[in-house]
Amino acid sequence: MKKLSKTTVRNLFTYLLVIAAFVICQSMVNAGAMSRSLRGQLVPICVYVVMAVSLNLTVGISGELSLGHAGFMSVGAFSGIVASTWLLGAFSMENEVVRLILAMVFGGVFAGIAGVIIGVPVLRLRGDYLAIVTLAFGEIIRNVLNCLYISIDAGRVYISFNSPNIPGEMLVNGPAGATGVDKIATFGMGFALILFTLVVVLNLINSRSGRAIMAVRDNRIAAESMGINVTKYRMMAFVTSAVLAGMAGALYGLNYSSVQASKFDFNTSILVLVFVVLGGIGNICGSVIAATLLTILPELLRAFSDYRMLVYAIVLILVMLATNSPVARAFFERVALKFKPSKAGKGGNAA
Amino acid sequence: MTLFLSYLISGISLGSVYAIIALGYTMVYGIAKMLNFAHGDVIMIGAYISFCVTQYLGLPAFVSVVAAMAVCTALGIVIEGLAYRPLRQAASLAVLITAIGVSYLLQNVALLIWGSNPKNFTSVFSVGAITLFGGTLTITSETILTVLANIVIMIGLTLFTGKTKVGKAMRAVSEDKGAAELMGINVNHTITITFAIGSALAAIAGVLLCSSYPTLQPTTGSMPGIKAFTAAVFGGIGSIPGAMIGGVLLGVIEILGKAYVSTELGDAFVFAVLIVVLLVKPTGLLGKQVREKV
C-alpha cells in the first residue's frame, strides 16, 4: 500500500474525528443520555465549528485579521430565514431538509455577495487597518439589519428600510429581529454542513489556489513577483470564508424561533476569533476542537453559576499565557523531554 | 443655525471623550504594537470607582476623580505586568486574544461587584451652564469641562513626550525597541509607564463620559472603547495629535449623523466615514506612511 502523505493523514484524522463525534452524540441523544441543555447546544456547536473553520481560512491561511466575521453570519441568518419562509409560502415546500439546504444556499450566496462588496475595498489595506475596517463593516451590517423590515405576502417578499409599513405578515421587524421562525435546523444537517465546510476548506488549502493564498500570506511581494495575482487569491479566501459563514448563519437563524441582529455583534466575531486562535492559527482540526470545547465550556461551568464567565475569562488568559509565553513554553518542553525523549523539541505547535 | 451649533457642541464634547480614550489606545499601540481591547473596560472601572467614592463615601467629586485615576493606574500596571509582559515576544494575535480575555475578566468582575443593574451616575460637575443667543443655545458645564480637560491633556502629553526624559524614552522605544535598549533605556519600565498613563487617562474619560451619559453598567466601556479605537485609527494610530483630531471628528460626525441622517444609523455612519478615510489615506489622517523595502 502506498504510504499516505502527512497532510492526507491529518485531514483524514479531522474527518474521522468529526464523524466519530457525531455518531457518539447522536447515539447519546437517541439513548436519552444527554442533558437537555447540552442537547440544545448541539446545533450551535455545529454553527460555531463552521464559523471557526471558515474564519481560520481568512485568519490562518490567508493571514488577514478579520474582526467582522459575525456580520456575514447575520447576513446568512436573515437571508436564510426569509428564504425558508418564502419557499414555504410561495412553493408550499413542506420538506424541511430540502428547505433547510436551500435556505443555507441562499444564506451563503447573500453572505458571499456581502463578502465581495466588503472584500474589494478592505483587501487593499493591511494589518491592523484591515482588522479595524472589517470590525467597522461588521458593525455597519448589524446597524443596517436593525433598520430592515421584511414581510411576506402571498409569496412576495417586501423589503423596506426604516419603516414598518409594508403589506403582509411581518417576518423581520427592525430591531426586534426575525420572529416566528420555523425551527427546521437539525443536528444531522449541522453535521452535514461541517463535513461540507471541511471538504471545501481542506481541498482549497491543498490545491494550487490554496498554495497561492499561503504564498501571498507568507510574503506578498515575493508571491507577486512570482506572478501570483494577489488580489484574486486574497478575495478567493475572503469570499469563500464569507459564504461558509453565511451558511452557518442560516443554520443558526433557523435553530431559534426569534433572532435579533444584535446577536451578531462584535463579541460574536471575537468569540469565533478566540476559537481560531486557541485551536491554532491555520490548524483546521484545532479550530474544530476548540470551537466544540469552548461552546460546551460555559455549560460545563454551570456549577460556578455567577462566576462562570469569570472562570471562562481566567481560563482564556491562562491558556494564552501557557501556550505563548517563552517561560511556559520552555517549561513544557522540559516536561516533554522528561517523558518522551524521542519527541523532544517537537512541541509548541499547539498554538 | 443654533440647532446646528448645539449639535456641533455636543459632538465636540463627545468627541473629546473619544479623544482622551483614543490617546490611551494610540500610546499603547505606538509603544507595544498591541491593540489593548481591555482599555474600554478600564474606563468603566474608573467610572464605577468615581461613582462609589461620591455615592458611598460621600467624598467630593474632585477626590473621586483622583481615586479613579489611582485605581485605574494601578490596574493598568497590574494588567500589563501579569497578562501582557509574558507575551512581549509572542505573535500579535496571541496578545490580542489575551487582551480580550482581560476585557471579559474586567467586565465580569464589575458584574459581580456592582451587579448588572445600571447605576445612575451623578455628574461630578456642579458649575452652572452657559446660555447664549438669548437662551436658545445652552452649553452645559460637562461640555466645557470635557473640552477643557481634553485640551489640557493634549498639551500636557505633547510637552511630556517632547520635553521630559521619560517621554523621550517612550518615543525612542516606539521607534525602535532594540536600539532604545542599546542606548540604556529600560524598555519594560517605559512600557509600564505608558500603560499607567493610558489607564489614568481612561479613568478621566470614564468620569467625563458618565457625567454626560449617566447610565453606568459593566458594558458601558465597550462601545466607547471600540469607537475610540476607531478614532485612533481614523487619526493615524500611534500619533498623539492624530488621536485628538480623530476623536473630535468622530464625535462630531456621530452626533451630526444621528441628527441629520438617521438615529439608528448613527454608528453605521461613523464606521462608513472611517472606511472612506482609510480607502483614501490607508494609514489614517496623520499616520506615517511606511515604505516597504524588498
**Quick count: other Cβ atoms within 10 Å of Cβ B164?**
11
Mutate to test the interface with B, among A260, A321, A327 (most CBs of B within 10 A): A321
Quick check: A226 contacting B, CB < 8 Å? no
Q: Is residue A3 part of a domain?
A: no
Mean pLDDT of A58-78: 90
Per residue in A159-188, pLDDT tens? 777 777 777 777 787 777 888 777 888 888
Task: Find the CB nearest B101 among A306, A307, A313.
Answer: A313
Mutate to test the interface with A, among B29, B35, B96 (most CBs of A within 10 A): B96
Quick check: B83 contacting A, CB < 8 Å? yes
Where does the pLDDT of residue A70 fall: very low under 50, low under 70, confident under 90, or very high at 90 and above?
very high
Q: What is the pLDDT of residue A343?
A: 47
ipTM, interface predicted TM-score of the complex: 0.81
Q: What is the pLDDT of residue A347?
A: 44
Cβ separation B90–A139 shorter than 8 A: no
Per residue in B189-212, pLDDT tens? 999 999 999 999 999 999 888 888
Q: Please give, rounded to a whole number of angstroms, the shortest distance from the CA of A247 to a CA of chain B.
A: 24
Q: Is residue A262 part of a domain?
A: yes
Cβ separation A321–B83 shorter than 8 A: yes
For residue A305, pLDDT beyond 50: yes
Q: Which residue of A has its CA nearest to B294?
A: A221
Cβ separation A221–B229 shorter than 8 A: no
For residue B252, pLDDT beyond 80: yes
Mean pLDDT of B234-261: 87
Note the pTM of the prediction, 2 decimals.
Answer: 0.84
**Of A74, A67, A97, the residue nearest A245 (C-alpha):** A74
A35 vs B199, residue with greater confidence: B199
A21 vs A300, residue with greater confidence: A21
Alpha carbons A193 and A44: distance in angstroms, whole number? 12
Number of domains in chain A: 1
B21 vs A312, residue with greater confidence: B21
Structural domain that includes position A69: 42-282
Where does the pLDDT of residue B135 fall: very low under 50, low under 70, confident under 90, or very high at 90 and above?
low
Q: Is residue A48 part of a domain?
A: yes
Alpha carbons B250 and A119: distance in angstroms, whole number? 24
Task: Find the CB nearest B109 among A136, A310, A320.
Answer: A310
Where does the pLDDT of residue A342 fall: very low under 50, low under 70, confident under 90, or very high at 90 and above?
low
Q: How many CA atoms lie within 13 A of B144 on its CB side?
A: 11
Q: Is residue A318 part of a domain?
A: no
Q: Is residue A20 part of a domain?
A: no
Contacts 24+ apart (CB under 8 A), B158-165: B158/B240, B158/B241, B161/B240
Q: Is residue A18 part of a domain?
A: no
* Structural domain boundaries in chain B: 19-221
Where does the pLDDT of residue A340 fall: very low under 50, low under 70, confident under 90, or very high at 90 and above?
low
From chain B, pick out residues whose CB is under 8 angstroms from the CB of A177: none
For residue A351, pLDDT beyond 50: no
Q: Are A117 and A134 spatial neighbours (Cβ–Cβ below 8 Å)?
A: no
DSSP lists the bridge partners of residue A169 as A152
A46 vs A310, residue with greater confidence: A46
Q: Is residue A303 part of a domain?
A: no
